[in-house]
Structure 1
Amino acid sequence: MKKGILFLICLVVLIIVGAFGFSLMVEGSHFQYQEGTDTLIVDNELIQGRTIIDGSDVFVAIDIVDRFIYPFVDVITEEKRFFIPSKLTEFYFENSELDEFVKQKDFIMNFNLKEEEGNYYLPLAFLQNLIGIEVNYIEESGLVIIDSINSNGFIGQAIEKINVLQQPRLVSGKVTSINTGETVNIFSQSGNYYFVRTLEGKFGYVRKDKLEVENEDLRGQAEKAFKSREEWQPEGKIGLVWDYVHQFSKDRRGEEKLDAIDVVSPTWFKMTDSDGTLMNKGDKNYVVDAHEKGYRVWGLVTNSFDPDMTSEFLASQEAQEHFIRQILFYSGLYQLDGINIDFENIHYKDKDTFTSFVERLTNKLKKDNLVVSIDVTIPSTSPNWSMVYDRVKLGEIVDYVAVMTYDEHWAASPKSGSVASIGWVERGIQKTLELVPNEKVLLGLPFYTRLWEEEKIPGNRVKVSSRAYGMDKIKEILVENDAEIDWDEITGQYYSEYENDGKTYKVWLENERSLALKTTLVEKYDLAGIAAWRKDFEHEGVWPVLANMIKFGKTYNQILVELNK
């Protein structure tokens, strides 16, 4: 009898100790993650996998994406690209006409892969609305939580402060606690308990009577709409700079806002096939940063400067519509503000079909309030490079015409000379203004120059070759060769020449003074503004000069005084 009583007493003590002892256990169980590890949660599964947090995006290793999240991605690691069929994604345009047009036929989306230490990652936060997931990053713990929007999970709200338990029973260790009004994700039930996940990513059980369950899965409310942007009316003259992107955009988040610039135009889109297929090199972080700084972003699209491919493309209305669908999609996805059309080297016979294509493209883009600009050379007698542009009609169709007033002497020129002498630039603008309204014309400015190499060869001839350099690099070369630099009134540039290893080197320099002189044409002819090629070729002193002229009304003479101080 005494043994039975002793056993009961011990049992009661164990229950009491267990009830209190377990509640004081260190948080964590086989459902919990360890902070500092490379871990993510997909719905109610804890997964070990590589993740990268970069700005507003969360990147997840491709093998994890394929196995646990979204198995419909085609990856080509050699090209550092991945592909997703549009029919397997979810999106829509607020403009119903555009929505219907883009979805008439399927297309293959393509994006850059992120590579780090030989591993490849997909930008899941960026893609989340497209592929039906919700991505959250818990900065305090470094945990990534991914929910499948089409899963059967529900949302519960605590009606009072309650404990989240390790096991679905009264006597259990405590995982954590949640306060009144806090929500949890509900995945399943066990007797009188729900199996839940807190907002911090901790799993456990909560009594059913302590949660108010929503009638629908709130995770299904992710925003999939491509919102139409407001129509843009610039204040004063426009400053645009093209940003060349080979494959990946340069991270410019640490750079200061440039007063001279309103628009950045990254070279993100390239037609790669006569069926209108586009290569996409867009970067959401780039757009977010640009918008935070107050820039507009006009994505540049090119025809790869391939006249034969372009001719086949222009001959097919189906190819043109395929092209337009993709441009509309990427413009909505990245929330671009405009598109810059940079089609060059087009067969003259395609002049009219090219103009019709630009009109068809512009009509669609304008329905989404995108600004449309086109790049043209100066009027000349070159069929493919100049005469193919019907400047009168193009000027009526698009918002802006950027005149590429550079490459007076191009890379393969048989004669050394300036890239953009002031007389040649002004004549090019004058001829353009006979065909295009001045309020639509952007003056092209070169941030580069060419170093010409002249070598005497048999037959009393001179072999000429050149190489393009940015402003700072060409100055370094001239300093290394002790070359004198003198102002040339005729070209409106500094000129330098030196001898090395029996060869003569010549250069017509672009710098603050030469660019200021060219920029006087904006006021003289009341142009819309400037368009500079390209970012990272400039000397940093160029920016305040351009800002003072196109934004703050300073004259060329005033700039000269400041430069000579």
Structure 2
Amino acid sequence: MKKRKIIIPAILLVLAIIVISIIVVLGRNMPGKEHMKLTDYFQVPDGRIQLIMQDEISEIQGLYEDGQIYVDMDIITSVLNPRFYWDSVENKLLYTTSSEVISTEINSNTYYINKRKETKDYKIARVQDNHVYVAIDYIKQYTAVDYKKFDNPDRVVINYIYGKKEKYNTVKKDTELRYEPDKKSDILVDMDSGVKIRILSEEDDKGFCQAMTEDGIIGYVDADKLGSMTEEMKTSDFQKEEYTHILLDEKVNLVWHQVTNADANNTVADMLSVTKGVNVISPTWFKTIDNAGNISSIADYSYVERAHAQGIQVWGLCDDFDPGMKIGKVLKVTTRRQRLAKNLMAEAIKYSLDGINIDFENVRHENGEDFIQFIRELGIMCRNNGIILSIDNYPPAEYSQYYNRTEQANVADYVI
């Protein structure tokens, strides 16, 4: 009888252990049911909006003010459109096309296309915490971009890559989009059968795909719950502007002519007599002389006539070698920069020059964008007057990348 009493509790203990073990195993294999709030996922403060740039959640949020979405200037220039330019001295936002400089100021709903005034029903640009933000509808006016806003919390999916195939799939069984590729991970979205999602990365060794919903939520989905993969390609009806160039009908054979004073202009005949095959001569006539955008000039009309008589074009050179000025102080301020461009153009027209040759060797890294903006603005003046614009450069190297030869080639005529 005693043995029987001992055996029964032992059996019960074994059964309890088995049941507990089964519960533990089942618990480990059961998918997690906890949901993560989207407010915790995106963490968007009041007055802000989360930017989803194509398929990436941006670390830099935008502003959401008066029903308008504003994008940080750093994202605009590095991702969307590098031709937007911010003058931090005069607080001006500029955009330059092949024929127009479009300008506006902070907290203004008016902008100027050259001198023509236009108006928007929203503030075009704002500043907050020392960051410049531009209205996305204004950006879209000059950029291949489309967007869709979603609520709770405020977020916007911005598309800017077109002509590239993207993978999509349709949920075939009700499932979840999870925060991490783990069935225990928090659920971001419950997805019904038939929901279309974009696939960012295909099935991993855990059986999950990384995916994005239409409203910009990025997470992981069980690959077994998906159907067949398809590919789509976004298109845009935005018409990208094409720059025209003034080019010679033949290869350019250029010689620089070191002219240090007015009397040296008389040596042009001697210079040309000892050169062969030259079709362009570039005299060193113009110098930047102060930080206000003024120049000195020793241009000579008879010099141009002599060169033209021999079928040779004259491209007047401007350098930034004067030790009494710093070219960066000119380039970073719009009124100074444009004064420099206008002064050069006035000389080119006055002396019937065929071209202008820019030789700025003292531009620092922090003024790289200012230099390119100067070339854009001078390029407009040159095109409008039929004058060739050429740029002298250091040999291609990492240390001189900020001179941005690619953009020079887009907006100028010759890159040397």
Query: TM-score, length-normalised on structure 1?
Result: 0.31
Query: TM-score, length-normalised on structure 2?
Result: 0.41
